[in-house]
Structure 1
Amino acid sequence: MEEGLADELDEEEQLVRKQRKEKKELQAKIQGMKNAVPKNDKKRRKQLTEEVAKLEADMEQRHREELEQLKRASQEAQSDFDAVNISNLVLENQPPRISRAQKRRDKKAALEKEQKERIAEAEIENLYGARHIESEKLAQILAARQLEIKQIPSDGHCMYRAIEDQLKERECPLTVAALRSQTANYMQSHMEDFLPFLTNPNTGDMYTPEEFGKYCDDVINTAAWGGQLELRALSHILQTPIEIIQADSPPIVVGEEYPNKPLILVYMRHAYGLGEHYNSVTWLVNRVTENCS
């Protein structure tokens, strides 16, 4: 019984750690969103405040549901355990009870099933919502350029994975880990170019050098969401323009000073529950593979 209780505590501790990490990644993402909005754009700032509140509320609700689900699963497992013990006292020659390891696997499967069901429900609800409208607009914009979206996983690395995918088309094999490492190193060595655009979310003050160092460390070692600052660094590292196509705004190009053909990313504001997401693109027609410079 004591061992089973320890297992339950371990699972709850792991979930709490995961949720803390997600909160940290969300704050990094929110910071990137704030940095992308000019301070004198009051309308967009107001919209950003509402978006941030929704992101935080959605995450808080999801975390609460995860904890409740874990508690329910633990209670159900304990009930099953008690029922098996009673049965063993009364009946003979019964099959052995389910192992604790199997119960843990069953709990994990139940949590994953519930998550998939929530995603499926969200997909249905959003069929004619903001995501659908955004996707339709992007499809039209890309089709006019003989392009289509190439889906990238939503795991915190999406911007770097989209860049990685674009570079593969030019036979430039750089991994996500390498892109993150080079981005952080470039930003560290050009701190004066990036520090003015980063502010402490609690105080509103510009990052200190120590906070900036921690920010760059997170770029390397976590799934911190990448934004315009990181794209600017990557354009310098690769000496290549990076074009970001959006549904409701003209494309943004960083690194215009470089003569190479731009890498192309698609920015989606309503792609997933947490909001922003980057995808890559692929061509609708065959073209000659280009070597990177």
Structure 2
Amino acid sequence: MEGLLARHRKEQKDLQARITQKKKSASKKTRRGINDECDQLQRELSERHQAEIAELNGETTEPPVDDFEDLSVNDETTNGETKELENAQDEEPRDAELSVPDSSEQGSSSTPSTPGSRAKKPNRQKARLARRAAEQAAQAAQAEEEASKLTNHRGNEKEVMEGVFKRLKLKEVDINPDGHCLFSAVATQLEELGLGLRPDPARTVLQPSTQSRVETVASPKHDGYRAVRAVTADFITDHKGDFEAFMEEPLDQYTRKIKLTAEWGGQLELQAIARAYGVEINVIQGDGRIEKIESGDSEGSQDEEKRKKKVIWLAYYRHTYGLGEHYNALTTQE
């Protein structure tokens, strides 16, 4: 539960950062639509969080069938059956006594049953148990039918993603889902675009430990995340005024997690990466939307051809991978 709640807090923080970024970039004409979109994103996230907590707690979306009333009825039936059985037991000796033949007739016949003997009563307890088993089977069938009607989030997400990839002529590069996926996907793209893992010194001043990480990367596709993590942490530290308000913990503690652990990256890290490396990051969402994170450069500061070479594409999944959120890299097809 603690891990789930931590992820929920992370997602809520990322969403707030995204909403703030969207509202900052809104104009008078687009403000109303962006506000509606932000409200919709907040509602969807809250509903998903509630559903995940309910699923983890073993709860169901439909209230469980209340058996108390049925039990009380059955209890009354059981009590009635018990009284009938007791009365029958009290009557049996008298019946048996009446059916005992006289001593003069004992030797005349050895067969105890006669055509007029009383028939055996049905077992009401067995009938009640069979009825209860039938009711439980009906409930199980109904639950299975309802489950079959639930939305297949994983299948829908994958189908939508593949449609967008095909339309934009993008090829997906699988990234290991190990907590470093965002940074590994970025490192893969930086290498693919020929930009390298070392940012422009005019954009951020790297600490000696970060420079060492950049220089000792063996393969950008395998351990390049180490360099990207360190660059991201340094940029956030140098521009804490832009990021600190969105953090739920002290700045130094936050940046230490980003640099040295497998802490998941999110909206804040995407903004820091885009500005540190001077790239535009396009993130394809599971519903087909494309979220753009700008580099922070003013329009016209570089020619169009150069700008196109500094665009990173990422695929962001919420349902397809079992561990939760995941990023894959995307490359343009030849």
State whether TM-score is above 0.5.
yes
Partner of 2:282: 243
Structure possessing the higher radius of gyration over alpha carbons: 2
Partner of 1:111: none
Instruction: Verify the 8 A CA contact 1:29 1:224 in the aligned structure 2.
Output: no
Shift of 1:229: 1.2
How many pairs does the alignment contain? 194
Instruction: Verify the 8 A CA contact 2:172 2:330 in the aligned structure 1.
Output: yes
- CA distance in 2 between counterparts of 1:262 and 1:243 reads 7
Determine what percentage of the aligned residue pairs are the same residue: 29
Shift of 1:272: 2.0
- CA distance in 1 between counterparts of 2:39 and 2:277 reads 34
The correspondence of residues 20-39 of structure 1 with structure 2, limited to 5 A, is 24=6, 27-37=9-19
Partner of 2:187: 164
Instruction: Quote the RMSD (CA, aligned, Å).
Output: 3.2
Shift of 1:56: 4.8
Q: TM-score, normalised by structure 2?
A: 0.50
Instruction: Verify the 8 A CA contact 1:29 1:226 in the aligned structure 2.
Output: no
Partner of 1:154: 177
Q: What residue ranges of structure 1 are gaps of 5+ in the alignment? A: 1-18, 62-124, 201-209, 286-293
Q: TM-score, normalised by structure 1?
A: 0.56
Shift of 1:166: 0.8
Q: What residue ranges of structure 2 are gaps of 5+ in the alignment? A: 24-34, 59-147, 198-219
Partner of 2:43: 46
Partner of 1:118: none
Instruction: Verify the 8 A CA contact 2:164 2:288 in the aligned structure 1.
Output: no
Secondary structure of the structure 2 residue equivalent to 1:263 = strand
The correspondence of residues 66-145 of structure 1 with structure 2, limited to 5 A, is 129-145=152-168
Secondary structure of the structure 1 residue equivalent to 2:40 = helix
Shift of 1:52: 2.5
Of the three residues 260, 263, 266, the one matched with 2:315 is: 266
Shift of 1:23: 6.4
Shift of 1:248: 2.4
Task: State the one-letter code of the partner of 1:221.
Answer: L
- CA distance in 1 between counterparts of 2:2 and 2:47 reads 22
Deviation sequence 1:204-225 (CA, Å, 0-9, x none): xxxxxx6222111111122111
Task: State the one-letter code of the partner of 1:32.
Answer: D
- CA distance in 2 between counterparts of 1:224 and 1:30 reads 15
Shift of 1:50: 2.4
Partner of 1:119: none
- CA distance in 1 between counterparts of 2:315 and 2:259 reads 23
Alignment CA distance shift 1:178-1:55 (3 Å): farther
Task: State the one-letter code of the partner of 1:134.
Answer: E
Shift of 1:197: 2.8
Higher RCO (CA < 8 A, seq sep 6+): 1
Alignment CA distance shift 1:55-1:179 (3 Å): farther
Secondary structure of the structure 2 residue equivalent to 1:243 = strand
